[in-house]
Chain A
């Protein structure tokens, strides 16, 4: 069973979102998503400053097996991409909720973040997808 921290928000496309104290949100892919994709070998990151719409493809995570789009959880502006993934993409596998984060985003509207799934809803979503 994959790990689903209770204090994060989630999307149907398996991104997690964490509210930071400064109003920005940190985004990554869930433990479940990295487990499905397998060993990560390359991450294509968005550029800081890009403006993105919710559900727009904003990054690509490539495992040995396949390339997979990462979708922007909420509309906003990219503040920073996790540069350490350029040389160590395996952080996404080893620490998906920590050092394997993908990007920092300034949401256009913080209410959008509130409306994402909580851990309980995401747990049910994962279970439903598996059956």
Chain B
């Protein structure tokens, strides 16, 4: 038996198929992964993401610490509540984890990191924090529920107190605010409008049931993966890891090079890599033939070289197979995929594949 979130009994009661995910017993789907995917794109769904690791950083040195720890720069966060997506790098410029950090007050930042990397993340963060005036506090007593989809704002408001309406309405994209016991971030992992709500574990079941009573359907990890893939969002451990730099993983945009005198872990190696030019990059692929792209399938770029699919699946929204692939930088508009010995054609496209329920593909793909 694995670890269980405060919502485990709810999942079982709702007919979830439970699988192991990084040591947690989590719902993969509640019947149909495809229907759950469409539910989020067309209406609204809720995800139990309580397995994710919430870490609070408190103290006068929190900002200085995070400016050293993270490749993105929290000094960019001028307004309270503003969030930032960043990689946490090792000295070799490899990705230890990717995370979201919320700037709540000058002496309080909240980070959400992956559950699969919890132990190494906490060890690393604590180690680096010793030189700073900051307390690192994991918050395992908190649950986290993502409410995602075009109907997310109206459904969330119906469940929260009336006093929360104004807060939800005023919350801008990539901002968070506190309403009583609830920490509400307008963030997510689906490419849809929506929220991630952090709340005390003992309130989680009631909140989940009230959302369900409003027509918010439970969504499993299966659909979470196809939604994030369509939305062009990386998955740690699959699309990047400690041997990949953000420059090769499509995450160059998350590195804050300026100010040039900010010293952050991994900066030196990253600057050298930027000067030498990386040989690999992460691109989006759309299969032009029938079949489904899968992780680790070989990508062949005639006359250029080879690469590998890092995340591949069937896109329920587009009705086509899509993937992220790590490929030679000189890849053109097309490549071949080795699918069980058959060579199939895929088009190279800009990410994301889908945004706010609509295809972002060029018309001829």
**Residues of A in contact with B (beta carbons under 8 Å apart):** 38-39, 41-42, 44, 60, 62, 64-67, 86
Q: What would 24 A/B residue contacts be, using CB atoms closer than 8 Å?
A: A38-B29, A38-B32, A39-B33, A41-B34, A41-B292, A41-B314, A42-B290, A42-B291, A44-B291, A62-B291, A62-B292, A62-B314, A64-B33, A64-B34, A64-B37, A64-B226, A64-B313, A64-B316, A65-B28, A65-B33, A65-B222, A67-B292, A67-B294, A86-B290
User: What's the least CB distance linking A93 to chain B, in Å?
Assistant: 8
What are the residues of chain A within 8 A of B340 when measuring CB–CB?
A: 60
Query: Per-position contact with A for B265-288: 1 when CB-CB < 8 Å, else 0?
Result: 000000000000000000000000
- Given A62-B314, A64-B226, A64-B316: A39 in contact with B32 (beta carbons within 8 A): yes
Query: Per-position contact with A for B220-241: 1 when CB-CB < 8 Å, else 0?
Result: 0010001000000000000000
User: What's the least CB distance linking A60 to chain B, in Å?
Assistant: 7
User: What's the least CB distance linking A39 to chain B, in Å?
Assistant: 4
Give 16 A-B pairs besides A64-B34, A64-B37 with Cβ atoms closer than 8 angstroms: A38-B32, A38-B222, A39-B32, A39-B33, A42-B292, A42-B321, A60-B340, A62-B291, A62-B292, A62-B314, A64-B226, A64-B313, A66-B294, A67-B292, A67-B294, A86-B290
**Residues of B in contact with A (beta carbons under 8 Å apart):** 28-29, 32-34, 37, 222, 226, 290-292, 294, 313-314, 316, 321, 340
CA gap between A44 and B344 in the complex, in Å: 13
- Given A44-B291, A62-B292, A65-B222: A38 in contact with B33 (beta carbons within 8 A): yes
| Interchain CB contact under 8 A, A64 and B291 | no
What are the residues of chain B within 8 A of A60 when measuring CB–CB?
A: 340
In this complex, the member of B32, B313, B314 whose beta carbon has the largest number of chain A beta carbons within 10 angstroms is B314
What are the residues of chain B within 8 A of A41 when measuring CB–CB?
A: 34, 292, 314
What are the residues of chain A within 8 A of B316 when measuring CB–CB?
A: 64
A60 (CB) vs chain B CBs: closest residue: B340
CA gap between A41 and B314 in the complex, in Å: 7
CA gap between A44 and B34 in the complex, in Å: 20
| Interchain CB contact under 8 A, B314 and A42 | yes
| Interchain CB contact under 8 A, B222 and A64 | yes
Those 4 A-B pairs whose CB atoms lie nearest each other, nearest first:
A41-B314, A39-B34, A62-B292, A64-B33
User: What's the least CB distance linking B341 to chain A, in Å?
Assistant: 11
What are the residues of chain A within 8 A of B321 when measuring CB–CB?
A: 42
What are the residues of chain B within 8 A of A38 when measuring CB–CB?
A: 29, 32-33, 222
What are the residues of chain B within 8 A of A65 when measuring CB–CB?
A: 28, 33, 222
A69 (CB) vs chain B CBs: closest residue: B340
What are the residues of chain B within 8 A of A86 when measuring CB–CB?
A: 290
A39 (CB) vs chain B CBs: closest residue: B34
In this complex, the member of A60, A62, A64, A65 whose beta carbon has the largest number of chain B beta carbons within 10 angstroms is A64
What are the residues of chain A within 8 A of B294 when measuring CB–CB?
A: 66-67
What are the residues of chain A within 8 A of B291 when measuring CB–CB?
A: 42, 44, 62
In this complex, the member of A38, A60, A66, A86 whose beta carbon has the largest number of chain B beta carbons within 10 angstroms is A38
What are the residues of chain B within 8 A of A42 when measuring CB–CB?
A: 290-292, 314, 321
User: What's the least CB distance linking B318 to chain A, in Å?
Assistant: 12
CA gap between A44 and B32 in the complex, in Å: 21
User: What's the least CB distance linking A40 to chain B, in Å?
Assistant: 9
User: What's the least CB distance linking B95 to chain A, in Å?
Assistant: 26
